[in-house]
Structure formats: structure tokens, C-alpha cells
Amino acid sequence: MPVAPDPSDRFSQFAHPERLVSTDWLQERLGDPGLVIAESDEDVLLYETGHIPGAVKIDWHTDLNDPVERDFLDGQSLAKLLGEKGISPDTTIVLYGDKSNWWAAYALWVLTLFGHKDVRLLDGGRAKWISEGRELTIDPTRPATAEYPVLERNDESNRAWRSDVLAHLGSPLVDVRSPEEYSGERTEIPGYPAEGALRAGHIPSAQSVPWARAAEEDGTFKSRSALEAIYQTEKGLKPNDSVITYCRIGERSSHSWFVLKYLLGFEDVRNYDGSWTEWGSSVGVPIILGTEPGAVPEKWRRN
Amino acid sequence: MAPQLNEVPARLAEIREEFLEMDPSDRLLLLLDYSNALPELPDRLSQHPGLLEQVVECQSSVFLLAEVDEDQKVRLFATAPAEAPTTRGFASILVQGLDGLEVGEVLAIPEDFPQSLGLTALVSPLRIRGMTAMLGRTKRQVREQLES
């Protein structure tokens, strides 16, 4: 049975408060049999240096990506992975990680593609847990293996492919990269040049909202009114718009996808994980340079 | 005797053997041991962090400095935050494997040494590139000091 949601007042303002849990809530439920805590970090060894007691590790790259093709793991591999982590279809999964939950949000998005029902984020992630002086352990977690069925990934509702983006041009796009990447001054996030693309700039008409604007200093999400002021008032997005988010490989934009879908309640949000590393290296797709969103060129206008 | 081109110095070769002899599932823990064993910076550097060069190819803030001493031996210093244990581990392997070597030995280390540790699939090719960048910057710093 899924675990009852965190009833914190802080979360009740959001469209889907059941998608967030607080550190207090989690602390009280360590060891709860219906709950599996999973850590997803940028650094593949960070979990080993200390993790929340009982938490398992899900690495975004070595666990969730196919080792050969540029795509996610298939249903069979996911069933094996989750089964080994002690997760069954009715398990409540709470994800947390470093970097204000970038990678935890990415893991949550991938699990959503497979239709896992109850997957939540620990608001504030790993840094908040540590800053509050809560316990970490280096003891390995050895969960009892669970049965997870082979599910087919369904990309339709939450994932955009390059062809979907081309067909979407003219409808709202949100570019969550740094201002320098958006304007085309550089193809890579400062500090991540290994994942460059051949061309720099952004997708025509995409609005620039760097992902971190949705987070407070301590890594927790901003209030609903603060988020509405950014995405709705400032950028003019409407909750019934069809929106596609993108970044460089789809991880920062998973964070913004989470914000739009679950905190603001947008009905149709898809994450384009091909993102700039695909678009910026694709032949014949339109690109805009500079700080303005720019217009969709005539030949690409569909909407 | 001058070192052969593209020869892995003995100490680095030993570190590589240490990784390759392990079961792949244990290699990450060995990398964590290296991470924990990254030597502290000497005072003269920890108080003047501007002397070190940032390795911008790494996903976290890692800084390194290679010095050539009067005996033409290389001294290598590096620092990386505790929140970046993989990067710290890579830096530690290089510091422990290179520090004190002859200039020629350091310059002869193959550029693809990081790919030969048996870690690429475990940490992802993306992450191993940070170590390649550290090695490249170390060699460049050594070359610059020979030229000056």
C-alpha cells in the first residue's frame, strides 16, 4: 500500500502536494515497509560517502541509461533494477540527491515514463538533510528483492522527441539552461564542456528560465506564488498550454518539468531529453542566437 | 635512461593493476579509498588557492598545480570538494601516481591512461573525461615550466 502523503502546510499550496515530502516527514518514516528511499546524484560515488539510513542508490547514468543506445533502459532492465532495490509497483519511492535534486528529478521523470505510480521528491534533497544535522550512514543497504513486472515505457505524455519539438514549434518551449548557453555564447554549461554540441544558441521562440530560478538557496522549491510569478506572469505560460522543457541532456529540464507539472499543475508538459546535445548537433534545424526568444522561421511554422 | 614514449610509469602502472585485479563491483570502492586519501595541500598553497588552476572540464570545482623542482622532478597538488568524491578519486590517483616523477616520465604518460583503469563503464565515459582533462592540464603546466 502506498504511504499516506506528507500533510505539511507548506506543500498544500501546490497542485500536487503528494509529490513532495519534507525531511521531518521522512525522518519519522525511516524503515517504513511501504517506502523505499533512493538517492540519485551527479557524482557516482557520493552515495557511498554517506546516505540516508536505508536508502538505495539509483545512478542516472549507469542505472537508467542504456549502455549502448542513447536511450533509457527498457522495461526488462527496469524490472530487474527496481526488483533488486526492493521496489514493487505499489511501493512509495522517495527520491533525493545532490544539486537541488537535479538528478533525483531526472530519475523521477524516467520512473514516470514507466508509469510507476507513487514517486516523490524530498524537498531540499541531500543538502537539506545534511544541513539539518540528520544521520547519514555508509552501511550498505541490502533490501530484500521484490517482484517488479516488466512494464512498457510510455513516452507519449511526458517525453518529447526531436520530431515532437519540430511539430511543436510556435507553442511554448522553456529553455532551462544558463543565460550563456541560451544566447549561444557557449554550447556547454560552465564546468561541463564534455557534453557540447556543434552549434550554440536556442530553439526558436523558447523562453529562457534557468532551472535554478525555481529553487530557493537551500534547494527547496519556491512557493507557488513565486513560481507563478516567474512562469505565468513573467513568461506568460498558461496551465492549459502544451509546454516542452529542455536543457542539455534533459536532467535540469526534468527539474523544471516537475515544477510545471506537479507544483503548478500544468496539464501537458513534456521533457525533451535529446535537448541541446541533440538539437545543437542536428542538421537542418532552426536555431536562434542572442538573448531574445526569436521567431519561428516561416518554413517551420505549424502552430 | 630516457623513458620510452607512451610508457606508463611504474607507480601508475601499479595503481592500474590494483584496479584491474579487482572485481568490477569493488573498483568504485577502491576509487573511494583513493578519494579519501587525496593529500591535503601544503600550507603555502592552501592559503593561496589562486596559485592552482581550475580544471573546468570537471563537473565540480577541482584545482591543480604541477611544479617542476630543481631536480627536474614533478610535484603535483590538487584539491576537490568532499561532495565530489569521484573527481577527488581521479585527482588522488594522479597525485599519488605522478608526484615525484621525472619530468620526462610525466610527459610520456599516454593521454588515454584514464581509460585503461577499468572504470569507464562503471563511472560512465562522460565522467572519466574529467580525469583526462586533469592529466592534460598537468602535462601542459609541466611543459610551460620547461619552456620558461
Question: Which of A40, A41, A45 would you mutate first to test chain B, the one with the most B CBs within 10 A?
Answer: A45
Q: Is it the case that residue A150 has pLDDT exceeding 90?
A: yes
Q: Is it the case that residue A16 has pLDDT exceeding 70?
A: yes
Q: Annotated active-site positions of A, please?
A: 247
Tell me how far apart the alpha carbons of residues A256 and A209 are, in angstroms, rounded to a whole number. 9
List the Cα angle B55/A216/A189 in 5-degree steps. 30
Q: What is the pLDDT of residues A176-191, one digit of tens each?
A: 999 989 999 876 555 4
ipTM of the complex: 0.83
Q: What is the pTM of this model?
A: 0.91
Amino acid at A221: F
CB-based contact, A43 to chain B, within 8 Å: yes
Q: Out of A46, A62, A190, whose CB is closest to B85? A: A46
Q: Is it the case that residue A92 has pLDDT exceeding 70?
A: yes
Q: What is the pLDDT of residues B109-146, one digit of tens each?
A: 999 999 999 998 888 777 788 899 899 999 999 999 99
Contact A208, A237 (CB under 8 A): no
Q: Spell B18-46 as b/e; 16+ CB within 10 A means b.
A: ebeeeeeeebbebbbebbeebeebeeebe
Q: Spell B67-96 as b/e; 16+ CB within 10 A means b.
A: ebeeeeebebbbbbeebbbbbbbbbbbbbb
Q: CA-nearest residue of chain A to B54? A: A191
Which CATH architecture group holds B10-147? Alpha-Beta Complex (3.90)
Note the pLDDT of residue B124. 79
Q: Out of B32, B35, B59, whose CB is closest to A42? A: B59
Continuous segment of H or E residues that includes residue B63: strand B63-68
CA atoms within 13 A on the CB side of A282: 18
CB-based contact, B28 to chain A, within 8 Å: yes
Note the pLDDT of residue A224. 98
pLDDT band at B1 (very low <50, low <70, confident <90, very high): very low
CB-based contact, B107 to chain A, within 8 Å: no
Q: CA-nearest residue of chain A to B126? A: A194
CB-based contact, A131 to chain B, within 8 Å: no
Contact B100, B11 (CB under 8 A): no
